[in-house]
């Protein structure tokens, strides 16, 4: 059936309106989420493939909407970044993750680390170093057990700013990871100059690593680069034994992915720590 231009415009307009209304509703709901305690954290173990032991965790933010249930971070984090809410929520994440780490260090293993994602917006803002300072003082965890994850693209978008912020973070004694490594455009000279501790190889290179020669070669080059620069490597998104075997053989120190563990509720993460304590 033929549609007039006008009819199509009306439909388009309604769809746009609906999207705009949804977005406003999402924003309004997010504004209340912190006070209503709808945010919580999951923890995904980071494992040494050599012995299969958990060395640390990445804290991953979760939002349980009272009506819609779990909302994926990819949906609500961009909204929080655009509205500036990410600063308050990011500070909450940092504090909650460090408190949880303190518990687990006391109960299970003082060497455990906690990785916390820092958004590009938090990184460009002025609060980050102050927030980290306060959380370290409040929780009393050893600074070197906290790793801040910044995406390669956020860091390289303003590498001069990164030099200053990373220097301040280093002075506090915390560690810095470049997240989603390989998906941004790193300047080799900044990679050398920035005080980075860890490269996290993005899942897109790890996934089906055993099926593509070029992926294997890229991972090998990243491992060589990390070795040359004295950095640790975490391979993200390891899902299969074949991927794991290759990464272990190539000398990846640490891996993270569904093969070992999905992101876990705190009680399940504690159980994983308890079980390996006995083994």
- Residue 60 in the binding site for ligand C2E (CB under 6 A): yes
Using the minimum distance from each CB to Ca ion, give the nearer residue, 148 or 272.
Answer: 148
- Sole window of 7-15, 47-55, 155-163, 257-265 interacting with ligand C2E (rule: CB under 6 A): 257-265
- Residue 149 in the binding site for Ca ion (CB under 5 A): yes
- Residue 117 in the binding site for ligand C2E (CB under 6 A): yes
- Residue 72 in the binding site for ligand C2E (CB under 6 A): yes
| Parallel, antiparallel or unpaired: strands 39-48 and 53-65 | antiparallel
Among residues 197, 152, 205, 190, the alpha carbon closest in space to that of 173 is found at 197
Question: What is residue 1's three-state secondary structure?
Answer: coil
What own/partner pairs with CB < 8 Å and gap ≥ 24 does 99-105 have? 99/139, 100/41, 100/43, 100/59, 100/266, 101/57, 101/139, 101/141, 101/145, 101/146, 102/139, 102/140, 102/141, 104/269, 104/270, 104/273, 105/141, 105/145
Within the chain, strands assigned E span 39-48, 53-65, 69-71, 113-117, 146-151, 175-181, 198-201, 232-236, 254-256
Question: Quick check: 147 and 198 in contact, CB under 8 A?
Answer: yes
Question: What is residue 150's three-state secondary structure?
Answer: strand
- Residue 45 in the binding site for ligand C2E (CB under 6 A): no
Report which secondary-structure segment, H or E, holds 155: helix 152-157
- Sole window of 25-33, 127-135, 180-188, 249-257 interacting with Ca ion (rule: CB under 5 A): 180-188
Least distance (Å) between residue 150 CB and Ca ion? 9
Q: Which does 177 bind (CB under 5 to 8 A by kind): ligand C2E, Ca ion, none?
A: none
Build a one-symbol-per-residue string for 113-142: x at contacts with Ca ion by CB under 5 A, - elsewhere. ----x-------------------------
- Sole window of 22-30, 68-76, 127-135, 225-233 interacting with ligand C2E (rule: CB under 6 A): 68-76
- Residue 93 in the binding site for ligand C2E (CB under 6 A): yes
- Sole window of 12-20, 110-118, 159-167, 264-272 interacting with Ca ion (rule: CB under 5 A): 110-118
- Sole window of 44-52, 147-155, 259-267, 271-279 interacting with Ca ion (rule: CB under 5 A): 147-155
Using the minimum distance from each CB to ligand C2E, give the nearer residue, 72 or 140.
Answer: 72
- Residue 152 in the binding site for Ca ion (CB under 5 A): no
Among residues 63, 117, 29, 100, the alpha carbon closest in space to that of 273 is found at 100
Binding site for Ca ion (CB under 5 A): 117, 149, 179-180, 236
Binding site for ligand C2E (CB under 6 A): 44, 60-61, 72-74, 77, 90, 93, 117, 119, 179-180, 203, 237-239, 256-258, 263
């Amino acid at each position: 059936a033929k549609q007039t231009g006008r009819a199509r415009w009306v439909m388009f307009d309604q769809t746009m309106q609906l999207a705009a209304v949804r977005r406003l509703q999402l924003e309004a709901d997010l504004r209340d989420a912190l006070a209503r305690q709808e945010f919580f954290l999951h923890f995904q173990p980071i494992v040494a493939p050599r012995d299969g032991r958990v060395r640390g965790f990445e804290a991953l933010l979760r939002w349980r909407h009272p009506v819609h249930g779990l909302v994926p971070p990819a949906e609500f984090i961009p909204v929080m970044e655009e509205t500036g809410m990410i600063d308050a929520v990011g500070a909450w994440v940092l504090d909650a993750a460090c408190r949880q780490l303190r518990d687990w260090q006391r109960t299970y293993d003082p060497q455990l680390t906690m990785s916390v994602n820092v958004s590009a917006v938090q990184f460009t803002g002025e609060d980050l170093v102050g927030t980290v300072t306060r959380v370290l003082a409040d929780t009393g965890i050893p600074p070197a057990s906290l790793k801040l994850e910044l995406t390669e693209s956020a860091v390289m978008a303003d590498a001069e700013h990164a030099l200053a912020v990373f220097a301040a973070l280093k002075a506090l004694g915390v560690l810095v990871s470049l997240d989603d490594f390989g998906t941004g455009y790193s300047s080799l000279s900044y990679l050398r100059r920035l005080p980075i501790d860890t490269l996290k190889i993005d899942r897109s290179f790890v996934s089906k690593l055993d099926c593509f020669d070029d992926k294997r070669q890229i991972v090998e080059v990243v491992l060589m680069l990390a070795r040359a620069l004295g950095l640790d490597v975490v391979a993200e998104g390891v899902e299969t034994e074949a991927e794991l075997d290759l990464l272990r053989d190539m000398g990846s120190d640490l891996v993270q992915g569904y093969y070992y563990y999905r992101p876990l509720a705190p009680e399940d993460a504690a159980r994983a720590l308890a079980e390996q304590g006995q083994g």
